[in-house]
Every structure is written in C-alpha cells, then in structure tokens.
Amino acid sequence: MIHNPLSQTKILLGVTGSIAAYKAADLASKLTQSGAQVKVILSDAATKFISPLTFQSVTGQPAYVDADLWGAQAHVLHIGLAHEADLLLIAPATAHTIAKLAQGSADDLLSLTALALGTDEDSAPLLIAPAMDAGMFGHAATQENLRVLVERGAVIIGPEQGHLASGLVAKGRMTEPLEILGHVRYQLSGRGPLRSRKIVVTAGATQEPLDPVRYLSNRASGKQGFALAQAALDAGADVTLISGPTHLLAPVGTNYIQVRSAEEMSAATLQACQTAHALLMAAAVADFRPAQHSNQKIKKSAGLPTIELARNPDILAAVKDQRAKFGHPKVLVGFAAETKDLLANARGKLKAKGLDLIAANDVSAADAGFAVDTNRITLLHADGQQEELPLMSKAEVAAEIIKRIIPLLDKESGS
C-alpha cells in the first residue's frame, strides 16, 4: 500500500488578495484529492478575487471569511482552527499578509489563526507561497519580513520568475499548485519509518555522446526511479536522486543530481553512496559508449561511419567494491530489464552484483518497463524468496520496494 503523508491530515489553506487566488482553488482541489481535509480562510481582499463557495465546492469543507469572526462561535474559531491544523499553508500570500505575520499583527481571521498556531517545536508548520509584483517582492521590507519568518521556522515557497499581472516578466509569480503540493507532502513526511536513513536512487537513461548532436541511449523515462524517490521521501528518508536527462519534475525534498553519461552517473553514485544506507538502482545505464567522441558533427558526406564501442563502468559492481572501504550502503537493490529468460537472468544479476533484492522487469510487455506508467515486476531476494507482483502503477511498485527495504535496513542496524 502506498504510504501517503497527506492522507487524513488537516490542512488549513489561507488565501489572500492576489490575482493568483484563482490558482488556490486548483491547489485546494489537489490537496483534497491527495487525501487531506482542507479548510480555507479567505482574507477580505481574497473574496474580491474568488468566492468562498468555490473552495467549499472543491474541498467539501467550510471556507471561512472575516465575517465568521463575529459569528456564534467567534470567541473560539481561530483558536480551534489553529489547534486542529496539521499544517497552515498561505497561498497566495501578499506582501501585506507577510508583513502582518512578521509583526505578529492579528486583525483578521487568517492572521489571528496564524498567531494562534504558535512557534513551538511541536507547532504545526507554516508554509508561505508569496505572490506579488517583482518590485514589492524585492523590497528590503518584504525581504526582511521573510527573513524574520524563516528564522521562526516558516517555509517560503517561491515565488517564481514569470509573467506578472503588471505585464512584467520577473520574480513574483506564485509557485504552481503541483509544486506547492510537493512542498506540503514533504513537510508532512518526516515522521515515516525511513527517517534519518539516506537513500540514493538512480533513474532514467544515460546518454553516451557520439558527437555534439548525437548520442546512444535507451527508452527509459525516469518514471520508475522518480516514483521510488517519492516513495522513499514519503517514508521520511533523506533522498539523493541521480538521473539521466528527463522532463520529469524531481520530487520536492530530493537532493537532485542531473547527469548525462554512465561515467557521470557512476561518479555521482559512488560519491553519494559513501554515506548512504541503501542504493536503489532503477536507471537504465548504457552498457557501452562510443569509444571515440568527435568534437565536430560527423558529416554524412564523409561516408558511413564505423562506430567502435567501449564498455561502461558497472555502477552496482563498483558500489559493491567501494562498500568494503566505507561500509555503505548497507542495502543494494537493482532492477533487471529483460526481454527473455527473465528470472534466470535476474537471478544471475542478483548474485553477480551482490544485491539484497532485484526487481525483474519484463520490458517486452507493452504495459510494463520503459516509459509507461505501469510496471509488472517479480522480486527476487538474496535469501531465495521470490514474489510475483501484479500489474501496478509505478508509484505502487515503488511503495512495494520501499516496504521491503525497511526490514532489510532494520536488520542491518540490528533494530
């Protein structure tokens, strides 16, 4: 089962008066779809841009406005909302709201609630996604207010460079809802079973350059590796994600290292593994590279080229050798991408590479392996155990693998 840090959590979403308020509806919807219970507080100015009914409709929960302060439960509303919240997210946050939060000013429902949240170690986290014009964001007063809030433990998300309401293209645009969702997910993941464990994940395909415009590669998209990184983060791990070129967005919270060739991936992986507890090697590393790399584009007019290949380093084998020196990583997990004799080949790789676990991947099936969103794997354990998993999403496959490395790590550390 996928461990979802957002499931059953109570999120309070503060929306303030910016044109980006319309995006907050999408954010509220995404948070709700991710399993969180989302209550919304709109500032007076926010209601000029978007209606509370929009939020009530997408969350199925109340959306409060300042007038509710004077309602029947007025004397407890902000305290109750602050105490039940697992996290307060203010998106979009205007310069005015940021200034009020920094000063501890409490003159409307949102600022009252934010103050009631407290700043103790066990207070719910405060996440702020600013949205304003670039000059306002860059102003010394706003920067100082943000510094004060960060010092008190708040997390500032963005803003991003982009098109602003003023017509400027500059820094001030609210971070996109999907990325804000990633920050919320990361904030809530810290208490999982892999907390204080360092996990290295490799993903995607390597590209082996032939000349400045051509390379040898394969069809790996990075989806399975990125899903593993997300599942490890959700379980509370400290994750380094090393990936070949991909268009995927790295999960928020990963130490993301982008590489191109197998040699670059090897260097980055060996470095990261010196202190890691586990390596999950989902990358499809090119076994061979062109022996010669031309600095100029190879011309068609020069005739048909003969490409001589050189063997690339076997990264898993090198990590296993390095382990003798550093004692890390404790657990090694590989994948075997096969088109025939799946289990025999995977078993051979499990043994030859000294792995604790290998995911045997029949990449000849249309719904599994490279680039698609689903995968079908058989897990082979070092102790001979074999588990055939049904067709699943790559996120589900990742969760199954993470579930199995938890006891392996516990066994290694004797807990």
177 vs 369, beta carbon nearer ligand PMT: 369
DSSP lists the bridge partners of residue 93 as 130
CB closer to ligand PMT, 256 vs 370 = 370
**Shortest distance (Å) from residue 319 CB to ligand PMT:** 8
334-354: burial string, b at 16+ Cβ within 10 Å, e else: bbbbbeeebeebbbebbeebe
Beta strands in 297-340 (DSSP E): 309-311, 331-338
Written as one string, the DSSP assignment of 72-133 is TTTTTHHHHHHHH-SEEEEEEE-HHHHHHHHHT---SHHHHHHHHH--STTSPPEEEEE---
Q: State in angstroms the smallest separation of the CB of 140 from ligand PMT.
A: 46
Q: ∠ CA(284), CA(286), CA(292), 5° rounding?
A: 160
**Residue closest to 67 by CA, chosen among 98, 28, 34, 108:** 108
- The residues pairing with 256 across neighbouring beta strands, listed in sequence order, are 241
Q: Which of 218, 295, 345, 361 is catalytic?
A: 218
CA distance 359 to 70: 59
373: Cβ contacts below 8 Å, ≥ 6 apart: 223, 393, 394
The amino acid present at 13, given as its one-letter code, is L
- In the complex, least distance from residue 382 CB atom to ligand PMT, rounded to whole angstroms: 14
The CB-of-59 to ligand PMT minimum distance in angstroms stands at 33
Least spacing, CB of residue 250 vs ligand PMT, in Å:
14
- Provide the minimum distance between the beta carbon of 370 and ligand PMT in the complex, in angstroms, as a whole number: 5
- Closer to ligand PMT by Cβ: residue 91 or 231: 231
Prior bond of 159 cis (ω within 30°): yes
218 as an active site residue: the answer is yes
Residue with Cβ nearer ligand PMT (197 or 394): 394
When the beta carbons of 160 and 314 are compared against ligand PMT, the nearer one is 314
How far is Cα 184 from Cα 179, in angstroms, rounded to an integer? 9
Going by C-alpha positions, the residue among 204, 196, 187 that lies closest to residue 250 is: 204
**Beta carbon nearer to ligand PMT, 167 or 390:** 390
Q: Which two tokens stand for residue 402?
A: 């993470």
What is the binding site for ligand PMT (CB under 6 A)? 204, 220-225, 262, 281-285, 287, 312, 314-316, 334-337, 349, 361, 363, 369-371, 394
Residue number with CB closer to ligand PMT (180 or 257): 257
Closest of 128, 160, 186, 176 to residue 26, by C-alpha: 176
- Smallest separation, CB 331 to ligand PMT (Å): 13
173/404 with CB nearer ligand PMT: 404
Structure tokens that stand for 262 in this block: 């197998």
What are the residues facing 209 on neighbouring strands? 215
CA distances from 225 to 85, 219, 397 (A): 33, 13, 10
What is the distance of C-alpha 275 from the center of its chain?
Answer: 21
CB of 326 to ligand PMT, least distance (A): 17
Residues serving a catalytic function are 218
